[in-house]
């Protein structure tokens, strides 16, 4: 190999010799558009003039980066656990001190700095189990079925890793929704499993139709061995909240077709629309009676990163497994033990999330106020986003029933599509990149999540503070009109 | 399938259908012996009588679980970052406040709760780069080559994942020492790569001999494609510290044989023996001149879990890549982005580790005292462990030059070996399990790390407090004599 005429040592590790499965991974949420956004931020800092003064990152569900305040009680407990000398400090409320002491007593050497059990601290797993029982109206939860994790992502990949086997036409197939959160497609590519795409129904509020599951499964059976079905509810990037009926249908389908269910429920507190309610797969499964509850294998996932806490940086989370074969469970425990343990501060945080201040405790009223302020602000922004976007000619969006995103359809002029194709870019990538360069607004093109051929979308978070969100929406409107005019 | 005559639903995910590579993973550090130890602890709690009153876990390098105190300054900064209201508190020293403010300014939304860049917070990567430059006597380090990680384990697996490709006789081969830290064998099994074992020389203080590397490589070439060489220095589980000469030899070997070097240097501050000194692979590589420093591909790993900080629970760490192909680097960045980011509290901790109090700052003297107290206590225990173990007939051990472990050879009577084989147990597993049941001391058998056929060892940490360590050593002596007598 030679560069500028100089002979260069051939590397051991090159694009040609590296792991081809890693090469095939794509992950749009932190892809080229976000890299360009970071670059533009640096250009602004060095004084380069732009038609805007700041980059607004509406590309990722990063609540606190967008100004959401952490829950005071949670942070007090974390500070107390980090530096236990503060337990003597009268400025901290007694309930925060009691929680911190209880967590520290469950840590090796009474310290966040010790490894925990690989499955997570036992006491915290018990607290999680009680939280799930309360959430699910008393349906039993065994702490032995709880695995604490490094965010939900890590647990999802671990579960997929267990499920993957076979070669050629026997390769494991995993059903994922389109649009999807690209962690799923990335993990399947990395694990060399087959992605079985089922489409959500955009015309019906991104709902999930079991006939579409059936279609996708039938088509896939010729070239892989379908073994798992992944559901994201409330939906990312599509913001729908599944009805109880739909969840029942999905469970029945999984039972008939012998599919392992994976329920990504990290947005379980983020439900805004009237008439919508979060139903956990676990609860519905158990309410359907023993022919389902003793049979269907389920893993469900939750995280400290979303909902009203938005503590993404702590990488806390858990997975509950239901009806998992006991030998496989031992294998799962072995697998997680190789990485030693999930971050202990994230475990401590999860503990206070599942065991927050109670009505008789001093921090209760502040906690309730902070939580409901955050959730009602999100509900307001969910509604506002949908209303304003739907006023823009050429943009159509479904209600944001839950989660933190809108995924509107954008109609692009044929000339724009043509120009994008000439540049070998997805048309909605071309659109989003232009939006970024002209307005500083960073969104993710729908092609990063998957969409029906010939339709174009973007994902935008509803997280910016209300005033900023209004500016963002106004800028998108302006841009979309200009873009449409330019290419008409 | 039927259990007790009752027909049981056949599961989707069973030992037969699960990922066979995951099934082949072994990880002794948290294996059956540790599970039994946890059980025994519970039995003690419920009042079951044992010949001991507590389980002593000398199986894992879990410093703070064994009573090591965290560095005050680090924990103050973490508390301040977790709950920034404390920045107003006069009880915290100004240097801790300044560090915390600087870290928070580098976080999204000024909060530990925001995601960071997937490669890690830029300012912290700059601080790491400066730390490496100081450590390596001025050898340049580019922050763009630093990847913050979730402990070192996560970065090691990520790097191995990039390196693995091919099938059959073209499968990637990775050279690892025997004895090894079983993260390596576990990751290679999971990735379906070929483990190429090279033996450390027990008769010469577990030193690494390049002739042995050559032998192992030649033998492996017939059935795989060797591409990487992993070194742990200071050694785990063997406690040796590599000489500068040896590191040069290894680098020359890697260059000749076109191997990607992976240097696990997480014990870089844990060097105790007179005449021993830590030399980083990076520094030696650059001192060998451009024919090496511009050519040999190297990834080196460090962590916040060991040394004098021992903050295992925070899962902080970093990797530095040298001479990595730029296209591969882009692939690495993409791969880490799928998991979003390393835990931000661990990143904050890493920042203070690489940027500790300076002589003019108020926390300096306390920091220096705490650090040197911890390191000198470890040095004393390293020495004591070796001396006492070597007094036991039938046990021989090399000096603990560095790291946190001793890996003594134990001579087992043929009758004991016979009985273990009848139980289908490795003889040293049989020994360690008996030791646990009779004394409550939890060690890991040498078979979990690999050893020469017919030799037996255990790994024991030097971490228990001095008084407890002396009791542990006395109990091992007693047990070993009893065991030997029983089976003679």
Q: Which of A22, A29, A331 sits opposite B161 (nearest CB)?
A: A22
Q: Which chain A residue has its CA at the smallest distance from B19's CA? A: A165
Percent of chain B scoring above 90 in pLDDT: 89
Q: Distance between CA atoms of B22 and B349, rounded to whole angstroms?
A: 32
Distance from CA of A289 to the nearest CA of B (A): 15
| B363 within a domain of the structure (yes/no) | no
Tally Cβ neighbours within 10 Å of residue A7. 8
Q: Which residues of A touch B70 (CB under 8 A)?
A: 111, 113
Q: Which residues of B touch A37 (CB under 8 A)?
A: none
Judge: B18–A228 Cβ closer than 8 Å, yes or no: no
Q: Are residues B319 and B219 in the same domain?
A: yes
Q: Distance between CA atoms of A482 and A478, rounded to whole angstroms?
A: 6
Distance from CA of A470 to the nearest CA of B (A): 19
Summarised one tens digit per residue, pLDDT across range B244-261 is 999 999 999 999 999 999
Q: Are residues A55 and A122 in the same domain?
A: no
Considering Cα of A30, then A33, then A35, then A40, what sign does the dihedral take? negative
Q: Are residues A454 and A432 in the same domain?
A: yes
Q: What is the pLDDT of residue A166?
A: 86
**Does the pLDDT of residue B238 top 70, yes or no?**
yes
DSSP secondary structure letter of residue B426: -
Q: Distance between CA atoms of A235 and A177, rounded to whole angstroms?
A: 10
Q: What is the pLDDT of residue B1?
A: 44
Judge: A162–B19 Cβ closer than 8 Å, yes or no: yes
Could you give phi then psi for residue A232, rounded to 5 degrees?
-115, 115
Q: Are residues B450 and B426 in the same domain?
A: yes
Q: Are residues B201 and B279 in the same domain?
A: yes
Q: Which of B114, B187, B313 sits opposite A112 (nearest CB)?
A: B313
Could you give phi then psi for residue B227, rounded to 5 degrees?
-135, -15
Q: Which of A15, A259, A327 sits opposite B12 (nearest CB)?
A: A259
**Domain range for residue A126?**
115-354
Structural domains in chain A (count):
2
CATH number, domain containing residue A482: 3.90.1150.10
Summarised one tens digit per residue, pLDDT across range B252-292 is 999 999 999 999 999 999 999 999 999 999 999 999 999 99
Q: Give DSSP secondary structure letters for A182-222.
A: THHHHHHHHTTPEEEEEE-BGGGTTB--HHHHHHHHHHHTT
Residue B416 and residue B432 in contact, taking contact as beta carbons nearer than 8 Å: no
Q: Distance between CA atoms of A271 and A277, rounded to whole angstroms?
A: 7
Q: Are residues B376 and B350 in the same domain?
A: no
Q: Are residues B324 and B418 in the same domain?
A: no
Judge: A165–B107 Cβ closer than 8 Å, yes or no: no
Chains A, B: CB pairs < 8 Å: 293
Summarised one tens digit per residue, pLDDT across range B182-220 is 999 999 999 999 999 999 999 999 999 999 999 999 999
Could you give phi then psi for residue A456, rounded to 5 degrees?
-130, 145
Q: Distance between CA atoms of B62 and B249, rounded to whole angstroms?
A: 33
Does ipTM top 0.85?
yes
Judge: A345–B116 Cβ closer than 8 Å, yes or no: no
Q: Which chain A residue has its CA at the smallest distance from B64's CA? A: A114
State the 10-residue block means of pLDDT for chain A, 488 residues long.
54 89 79 89 93 91 92 98 96 97 96 95 98 97 97 94 89 95 92 95 94 97 95 95 96 96 96 94 97 95 95 97 94 88 97 97 97 96 96 95 96 95 94 96 93 94 94 96 94
CATH number, domain containing residue A271: 3.40.640.10
Supply B411's token pair. 């001579």
Q: Are residues B305 and B436 in the same domain?
A: no
Q: Distance between CA atoms of A224 and A187, rounded to whole angstroms?
A: 17
Q: Considering only residues B27 and A98, tell me which one the structure prediction assigns the higher pLDDT.
A: A98
Nearest-CA neighbor of B443 among B44, B27, B37?
A: B37
Judge: B345–A341 Cβ closer than 8 Å, yes or no: no
3-state secondary structure of A470: helix
Q: What is the pLDDT of residue B210?
A: 96
In our burial notation (b when 16+ CB lie closer than 10 A, e otherwise), range B249-271 reads bbbebbbebebbbbbbbbbbbbb
| Residue of B23, B93, B113 for testing the chain A interface, max A β-carbons within 10 Å | B113
Q: Which residues of A touch B115 (CB under 8 A)?
A: 60, 62, 65, 312-313
Q: Which residues of A touch B154 (CB under 8 A)?
A: 339
| A141 within a domain of the structure (yes/no) | yes
Out of A354, A389, A405, pick the residue that ends a domain: A354
Nearest-CA neighbor of B444 among B5, B62, B159?
A: B62
Position B435 confidence tier, pLDDT thresholds 50, 70, 90: very high
Q: What is the pLDDT of residue A8?
A: 53
Judge: A338–B27 Cβ closer than 8 Å, yes or no: yes
Q: What is the pLDDT of residue A24?
A: 83
Q: Are residues B205 and B319 in the same domain?
A: yes
Q: Are residues A127 and A257 in the same domain?
A: yes
Distance from CA of A253 to the nearest CA of B (A): 14
Residue B443 and residue B57 in contact, taking contact as beta carbons nearer than 8 Å: no
Which conformational region is residue B69 in: left (phi greater than 0), alpha (psi within -120 to 50 degrees), or beta?
beta
Judge: A115–B76 Cβ closer than 8 Å, yes or no: no
Q: Are residues B205 and B137 in the same domain?
A: yes
Q: What is the pLDDT of residue A1?
A: 44
Judge: B82–A86 Cβ closer than 8 Å, yes or no: no
Q: Which of A82, A165, A337 sits opposite B18 (nearest CB)?
A: A165
Residue B341 and residue A313 in contact, taking contact as beta carbons nearer than 8 Å: yes
Q: Which chain B residue has its CA at the smallest distance from A255's CA? A: B12
| A146 within a domain of the structure (yes/no) | yes
| Residue of B68, B76, B90, B114 for testing the chain A interface, max A β-carbons within 10 Å | B114
**Does the pLDDT of residue B337 top 90, yes or no?**
no
Q: Are residues A384 and A319 in the same domain?
A: no
Distance from CA of B204 to the nearest CA of A (A): 30
């Amino acid at each position: 190999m030679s560069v500028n005429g100089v002979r260069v040592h051939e590397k051991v590790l090159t694009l040609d010799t590296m792991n081809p499965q890693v090469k095939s991974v794509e992950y749009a949420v932190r892809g080229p558009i976000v890299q360009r956004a970071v670059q533009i931020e640096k250009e602004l800092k060095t004084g380069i003039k732009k038609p805007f003064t700041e980059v607004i990152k509406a590309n990722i569900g990063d609540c606190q980066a967008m100004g959401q305040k952490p829950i005071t009680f949670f942070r007090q407990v974390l500070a107390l656990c980090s530096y236990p000398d503060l337990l003597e400090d009268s400025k901290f409320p007694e309930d925060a001190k009691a929680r911190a002491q209880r967590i520290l007593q469950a840590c090796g050497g009474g310290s966040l700095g010790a490894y925990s059990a690989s499955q997570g601290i036992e006491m915290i797993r018990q607290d999680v189990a009680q939280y799930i029982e309360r959430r699910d109206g008393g349906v039993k939860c065994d702490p032995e079925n709880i695995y604490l994790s490094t965010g939900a992502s890590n647990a999802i990949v671990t579960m997929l890793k267990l499920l993957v086997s076979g070669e050629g036409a026997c390769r494991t197939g995993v059903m994922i929704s389109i649009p999807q959160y690209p962690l799923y497609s990335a993990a399947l590519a990395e694990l060399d499993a087959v992605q079985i795409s089922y489409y959500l129904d955009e015309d019906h509020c991104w709902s999930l139709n079991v006939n579409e599951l059936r279609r996708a499964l039938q088509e896939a059976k010729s070239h892989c061995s379908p073994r798992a079905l992944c559901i994201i509810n409330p939906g990312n990037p599509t913001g729908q909240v599944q009805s109880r009926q739909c969840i029942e249908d999905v469970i029945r389908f999984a039972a008939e077709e012998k599919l392992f269910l994976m329920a990504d429920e990290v947005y379980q507190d983020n439900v805004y629309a009237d008439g919508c309610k979060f139903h956990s797969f676990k609860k519905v499964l158990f309410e359907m009676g023993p022919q389902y509850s003793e049979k269907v294998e389920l893993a469900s996932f939750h995280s400290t990163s979303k909902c009203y806490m938005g503590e993404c940086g702590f990488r806390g989370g858990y997975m509950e497994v239901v009806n998992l074969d006991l030998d496989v469970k031992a294998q799962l425990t072995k697998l997680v033990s190789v990485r030693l343990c999930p971050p202990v501060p994230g475990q401590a945080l999860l503990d206070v999330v599942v065991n927050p201040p109670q009505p008789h405790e001093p921090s209760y009223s502040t906690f309730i106020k902070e939580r409901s302020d955050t959730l009602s602000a999100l509900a307001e922004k969910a509604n506002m986003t949908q209303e304003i976007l739907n006023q823009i000619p050429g943009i159509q969006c479904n209600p944001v029933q839950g989660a933190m995103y809108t995924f509107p359809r954008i109609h692009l002029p044929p000339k724009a599509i043509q120009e994008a194709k000439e540049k070998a870019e997805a048309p909605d990538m071309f659109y989003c990149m232009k939006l970024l360069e002209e307005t500083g607004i960073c969104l993710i093109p729908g092609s990063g999540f998957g969409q029906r051929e010939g339709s174009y979308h973007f994902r935008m978070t509803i997280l910016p503070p209300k005033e900023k969100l209004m500016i963002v929406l106004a800028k998108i409107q302006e841009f979309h009109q200009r873009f449409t005019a330019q290419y008409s």
